[in-house]
Amino acid sequence: MQAQQVVFRRAGSGLGLLLALFTFLVVFWLAILTPVAAQSADEGEAVFSEKCAACHTFGGGDLVGPDLEGVSDRRDPAWLSRWIAEPDAMLAEGDPVAVDMLAEFNNVPMPNLSLSDTEVASLVAYLGTRSSAAPAAVPVQVAEQSTVGSSEPDAATGKALFEGSNRFQNGGPPCLACHSIAGIGALGGGALGPDLTGSFGKFGEDGMASILATTPFETMTPIFDDQPLTDEEQAHLSLFLSRAAVSKRTAASVGQLALLGLVGAVFLLMVMQFLWRRRLREVRRPMVARSRARIERARQAQEEQRKATPGTESR
């Protein structure tokens, strides 16, 4: 009983400490929140260039997603906030505008970028300033990036990067780990991500370039945010992906896969046959067969002996 009380007292003091820490955090958060609200549009610009610019422009035309010129005039602010915050939920609910847009943009859904409420608010504020102001020079990072590079883009290098025989400079995993594509051999690549054979045709050159630069997908973001692809690598990969888009999986490669599977299966069976060559097969039937053969031999020997010694045949 005493021990229990001690435990409770300890837990109580721990609770007090937690409460104090919580109060402190709330105060601290309120303190830093005020300036954020003031600089909402500036914050929004930063968030936009980091998370949205891969697919969207202002007056630069549609990329993967629509051109956002005048978007706050076209859309209700409440709708816009929610769409930025949770596009997946809205699509699932079947919001008519969202569904139409999805159809319009090649069925590439806008991903949920897990933005905080403040980030969403600042983004909406920023979009408002951009719509009412005169169109500024579009910061199309993408276009710049694809032209920057010390060497000419090369599809073979792109393939090597895709397969991982050349490592990415910043240490990201090779594409092959999660994606398959035509032209990399019969065994293909990973199946976690989609097959990238038709991806170039789907997103277009600009879209692909922005995707490679920002990797805006839920699964890829945590991997490539810390170790992004360099501009050169992006160029190589983009070229490789564009070549892959026109090549097709040939019937020969399917046959190759089947043959590989067959050879592998036969090899494994042989290994098993060797490893388990001393397995127990059957006991009773072989035993009975052995004994019957022995009895038969003995009977024949007896008969021969009887024939050999005349006079016993009458028995």
Partner 1 sequence: MDIRAQVSMVFHLDKCIGCHTCSVACKNIWTDREGVEYQWWNNVETKPGTGYPTLWENQDEYKGGWEAEDGRLQLKLQSKIGTLGNIFYNRRLPTVNDYYEPWTYDYEHLFNAPEGDDQPTARPISLITGEFMEIESGPNWDDDLGGSPVYASNDPNVGSLTDEERAQLNEIERVMFFYLPRICNHCINPGCVAACPAGAAYKRGEDGIVLVNQDKCRAWRMCISGCPYKKVYYNWSTGKSEKCVLCFPRLESGQAPACFHSCVGRIRYLGVLLYDADRIEEVASSPESELVEAQRGIIQDPFDPEVIAAAKANGVTDGMLQAAKHSPVYKFVKEWKLALPLHPEFRTVPMLYYVPPMLPVLAKMKDGKYDVADAEAEGLKPQLTSLENARAPLAYMANLFSAGNEEIVTEVYRKLIAVRVYKRAEKVGDISQEEAQEALALGNMTAEEAEAIFRLTALPSFEERFVVPPLAREVAIEQIESPYDRKREGGFGSRTAPGRRW
Kindly state the smallest distance separating residue 266's Cβ from partner 1, in Å: 18
Kindly state the smallest distance separating residue 221's Cβ from partner 1, in Å: 39
Residues composing the chain:
315
Alpha helices (H) in the chain, listed in sequence order: 2-38, 40-47, 71-74, 77-85, 87-93, 96-104, 117-132, 141-147, 155-163, 199-214, 221-224, 231-246, 251-275, 284-308
Which residue, 31 or 283, has its beta carbon nearer to partner 1?
A: 283
Binding site for partner 1 (CB under 8 A): 272, 276, 278-285, 287-288, 291-292, 295
Which residue, 116 or 273, has its beta carbon nearer to partner 1?
A: 273
Kindly state the smallest distance separating residue 283's Cβ from partner 1, in Å: 5
Kindly state the smallest distance separating residue 179's Cβ from partner 1, in Å: 32
Half-sphere exposure of residue 128: CA atoms within 13 angstroms, side-chain side: 14
Kindly state the smallest distance separating residue 298's Cβ from partner 1, in Å: 9
Which residue, 15 or 289, has its beta carbon nearer to partner 1?
A: 289
Which residue, 29 or 274, has its beta carbon nearer to partner 1?
A: 274
- Six-digit token pair at 268? 């494994």
| Separation CA 297–CA 302 (nearest Å) | 9
The closest of 232, 233, 119, 136 to 175, measured between CA atoms, is: 233
User: Is the Cβ–Cβ distance between 231 and 145 less than 8 Å?
Assistant: yes
User: Is the Cβ–Cβ distance between 165 and 213 less than 8 Å?
Assistant: no
Which residue, 19 or 295, has its beta carbon nearer to partner 1?
A: 295
| Separation CA 241–CA 182 (nearest Å) | 10
Which residue, 73 or 282, has its beta carbon nearer to partner 1?
A: 282
Which residue, 292 or 307, has its beta carbon nearer to partner 1?
A: 292
Kindly state the smallest distance separating residue 102's Cβ from partner 1, in Å: 42
Kindly state the smallest distance separating residue 314's Cβ from partner 1, in Å: 23
Contacting residues for 124 by C-beta, under 8 A, at least 6 apart: 44, 72, 77, 80, 81, 84
